[in-house]
Amino acid sequence: MDLSLFLQQLLNGISLGSLYALIAIGYTMVYGIIRLINFAHGDILMVSTYFAYFGISVYALPWWLSVVMAILLTALLGILIDLGAYRPVRHAPRISALITAIGVSFLLENLGLVVFGGRPKAFYRPDFLDKTYELGGVRVFSLSIWVPLVTALLLALVFLLLYRTRVGAAMRAVAKDMEMVQLMGIDVNRVISLTFAVGSALAAAGGIMWAMKYPQINPLMGIIPGLKAFVAAVIGGIGNIHGAVLGGLLLGITEILLVAFLPSLAGYRDAFAFILLILILLFRPTGLAGKDTIG
Amino acid sequence: MSERHRREWIYKLCTYGAIVGLFAFFLQVQNQADEYQIRILNVSAVFVTLAVSYNLINGVAGQFSLGPNAFMAVGAYTTALLTLSPAEKELSFIIEPIIWPLSVLHLPFLPSLLIGGAFAALLGFIMAFPVFRVRGDYLAIVTLGFGEVIRVVANNVQSITNGPLGLKGLSEYTNLWWSWGVAVFTVFCVTRLVKSSFGRAMQAIREDEVAAAAMGINVFRHKMLAFVVHAFFAGMAGGLMAHLITTISPTLFSFFLTFNLLVIIVIGGLGSMTGSIIAAIIITHAGEWLRAVEEPMAIGPFNIPGIPGMRMVVFSIMLILVMIFARQGLMGRREFSWKWFCGFLKIGKRRG
C-alpha cells in the first residue's frame, strides 16, 4: 500500500470522523440526559447551514459573523424544539417521545423544502479553506486540517463547560439522577434546554463545516450525517462523550479507508455504518467505551 | 341455541354481509368511478394492508420497528421480477444482464405476490435474530438501519434489481379485487391472530416483557411471529403497490414510506386494527386533497402559488400534535365490534 496515499486518506478520514464526532456529541448529550434519540438532530444541522447561507449569500455579512450568528440561532432553535415538542412528552412513554422526534425531523425537512426550495444551493467556502498543500508527496486539502482543529477546540470548550462550570455540574447531575437533582433545587427543565442549545450549536458547527466541505446544501442534507453520527454515538456507547468522539473518528476513518482501498464496495458506503451498528449492538450493546452518563 | 350464541351468529353474519357489501360497492365503483378515484381506492387498500400488519408488530407486540419499507421493497422486487416476462427483463436490464434463474422465471400474479410475501417473511425471519436482541429505541434504530441497508443493496446489485434504474413497465395487475381482497384477508388474519393465544402473549410482552417471560411465554418466539407475519403482509402490499404504479426503484422504498405508515398507525391508535383501517383510508384521501394545496390556485383575482411539500408539513405537524395532545389516537386500543355498533345505534337491546 502506498504510504502517502494512505496518509492522505487517513487525514480525510480524521476530518470526516471529527465531523461525525461533533454531531454525535449532540445526540449523546441529549440521550444521556433525557433518554431520547433526537431524530431531528441531523435536520437541525441542515437548518443551521441555511442560517449561515442566508447570512453570507443573501445579507452579504462577513462569513465569520454569519457562522457565529448561525450557531447562536441554531442553539435557539434547539431550545425552541425542546420547549415546543419534547417538553410536553417528557413524561410520556419513551416511544411517544421517539415518535415526536421523528415528527420534528420530518417537519424540519419538509418545512425546509417549502421555505428554501428543493434545489441545492452553493455554499460559500472561505479562501483559506480552499487551498491544497503538498507535503512530501501527500496532497493535503486545507479544510481537512482545519476541521479536526476546530473540532478539537470545540471539544475542549464542551469539556470546560461540563467539568469547570456549575451548569456543567448540573448537567452531569441531571444525567445521573433527574429526580434527585430536582429535589436539590435545580431547575431541570432549564438544564435540559441548555443541553439542547449546546448540542444544537455543536451540530451547527459540524453542519457548516460539512457544507463547506461539499460545498452545497439542500433541505435533505441532514439525514445522512444525522444517521451516521447517531451510529457513531452508539458505537462509542451512547450517553458517553468520550465514546462519541471515539466512535465518530472510528466511523469516519474506516469509512474513508474502505472506500479508498476497496472501491468495488464504494456503493455500499452508506450501508456500512448500519452494518457496523448492528454488529456493535449484537456483540457490545453498550458500545466500545461502555455505558456511562455524560462525562 | 342460547341467546349469546344466537347473537354471535348474527354478528358473524353481519361481518360477512359487510364484506359482500364492500365488494358490491366496488362492482358499482368499477363501472362508474373514474380512473383517479379507483386509484385512490387501490392505494387506500394497500395502505390498509400495510397499516394493519405494521400495527401488529408496533401496536400489539409493542416492538417499535421502523423497517416496513425493507419488507415492502423485497416483496415489490420479488413480485415484479416474477411477473415480468423474460423478454421484458432482457430489455430493461441494460447496464448488467439479469442473473440466470430470474431471467427465465415468469409466473402469474397471485403466485408471484405470495412468493413476494414469502421472501419478505424470510427476510423478517432472518432479521429477527439480530433485531430482537435489542429493545425500545435501539430496536427502532436497528430496523431503520436494515431498511437503509436493503435500499443500498437494491441500488447496488444491478444484476438482480437493475440498480437505481429500477424496474419499469410492470403490468397493472392490481385492481380493486386484488387490493381489497388482500386487505380483507390481512385484516382477517391479523385480527384472528390478535384474538388467539399468540396475540394475548404478544400483548403481554408489550405490557411487561419480564412478567410475560416469567409466566412462561417464549418472548423471542412471539416477537418473531409478529415480525414475520408483519413482514409477509408488508411484502404482499409491496407487490400490490409495484403493480399499481408499474414502476419501482430503490428511492420509492425510503424511510419516507415508513413515516407515512407511522403517521397512520399513530393517528389510528397504536394497537387498534380498526383505527389503522380508518386512518389508512383517511390519510390516503387527505393526501390527495392536500395535493390541491401544492398546486397553484386562482381565487378570484389572486393567484396563489402552489406550495410543494406542504402535505408532509401538515402530516408531520399532525403527528407531533397527536403525540402531545391525543396519544391514544382515534381509537386507542379499542376495536370495532357489532356489539358496540348495536349499542351505539340502540338496536337489539333486550326489552324490560
- Distance of alpha carbon B133 from alpha carbon B122, whole angstroms: 18
Judged by a CB distance cut-off of 8 A, whether residue A120 touches chain B is no
Report yes or no: A295 and A244 within 8 Å, Cβ to Cβ. Answer: no
Whether A116 is covered by a domain: the verdict is yes
Judged by a CB distance cut-off of 8 A, whether residue A167 touches chain B is no
**Residue in A94, A103, A285 closest to B320 by CB:** A103
- Distance of alpha carbon B65 from alpha carbon B63, whole angstroms: 6
Cell of B149: 441497508
What backbone phi and psi angles, to 5 degrees, belong to B303?
-105, 110
Q: Is the dihedral of CA B252, B258, B263, B269 positive or negative?
A: positive
Predicted TM-score of the model (pTM): 0.91
CB contact under 8 A, A103 and B146: no
Report yes or no: A72 and A135 within 8 Å, Cβ to Cβ. Answer: no
CB contact under 8 A, A37 and B137: yes
Q: Choose among A81, A62, A41: nearest CA to A202.
A: A41
DSSP state of B295: S
Q: Which pLDDT score is estimated for B49?
A: 97
Q: Which pLDDT score is estimated for B82?
A: 93
Q: Which pLDDT score is estimated for B3?
A: 83
- What digits encode the pLDDT tens for the residues A93-139? 888 899 999 999 999 999 999 899 889 999 988 888 888 888 777 78
Instruction: Dump the DSSP string for B98-145.
Output: PPHHHHH----HHHHHHHHHHHHHHHHHHHHHHHTTS-HHHHHHHHHH
Whether A288 is covered by a domain: the verdict is no
Please state, in angstroms and as integers, the Cα–Cα distance from residue B68 to each residue in A3, A4, B71, B72, B124, following that order. Answer: 44, 45, 5, 6, 10
Bridge partners (DSSP) listed for residue A141: A132
CB contact under 8 A, B316 and A94: no
Residues B180, B181, B186, CA angle at the centre, nearest 5°?
Answer: 90
pLDDT of residue A238 exceeding 80, the answer is: yes
Nearest chain A CA: its distance from B48 CA (Å) = 20
Provide the 10 A C-beta neighbour count for residue B32.
Answer: 9
Whether A290 is covered by a domain: the verdict is no
User: Domain containing A17 — which CATH number?
Assistant: 1.10.3470
Whether A289 is covered by a domain: the verdict is no
* Residues 6-65, chain A, touching B (beta carbon < 8 A): 37
- Distance of alpha carbon A16 from alpha carbon A206, whole angstroms: 10
Q: Domain limits of chain B? A: 33-254
Report yes or no: B133 and B208 within 8 Å, Cβ to Cβ. Answer: no
The mean predicted confidence, pLDDT, of chain A is 90
- Distance of alpha carbon B116 from alpha carbon B37, whole angstroms: 27
- What digits encode the pLDDT tens for the residues B84-97? 988 888 888 877 78
Domain ranges, residue A178: 3-283
Q: Which pLDDT score is estimated for B91?
A: 81
CB contact under 8 A, B324 and A85: yes
Residues of chain B falling short of pLDDT 70: 1, 297-306, 348-352
The pLDDT confidence band at residue A197, using thresholds 50, 70 and 90, is: very high
Q: Where are the beta strands (DSSP E) in A205-262?
A: 216-217
Judged by a CB distance cut-off of 8 A, whether residue A107 touches chain B is yes
**Residue in A111, A118, A268 closest to B156 by CB:** A268
Name the one residue in this structure whose C-alpha cell is 424544539.
Answer: A81
**Residue in A103, A118, A277 closest to B323 by CB:** A103
Whether A32 is covered by a domain: the verdict is yes
Whether A291 is covered by a domain: the verdict is no
CB-CB neighbors (< 8 A) of A30 in chain B = none
Q: Which pLDDT score is estimated for B352?
A: 40
Cell of B80: 415484479
Nearest chain A CA: its distance from B32 CA (Å) = 37
- What digits encode the pLDDT tens for the residues B222-281? 999 999 999 999 999 999 999 999 999 999 998 989 999 999 999 999 989 999 999 999
Cell of B39: 386509484
Q: Which pLDDT score is estimated for A52?
A: 96
Judged by a CB distance cut-off of 8 A, whether residue B262 touches chain A is yes
Q: Which pLDDT score is estimated for A293?
A: 46
Judged by a CB distance cut-off of 8 A, whether residue A266 touches chain B is no
pLDDT of residue A196 exceeding 70, the answer is: yes
What's the structural domain count of chain A? 1
CB-CB neighbors (< 8 A) of B160 in chain A = none
Bridge partners (DSSP) listed for residue A139: A134
Q: Which pLDDT score is estimated for A92?
A: 87
Judged by a CB distance cut-off of 8 A, whether residue B320 touches chain A is yes
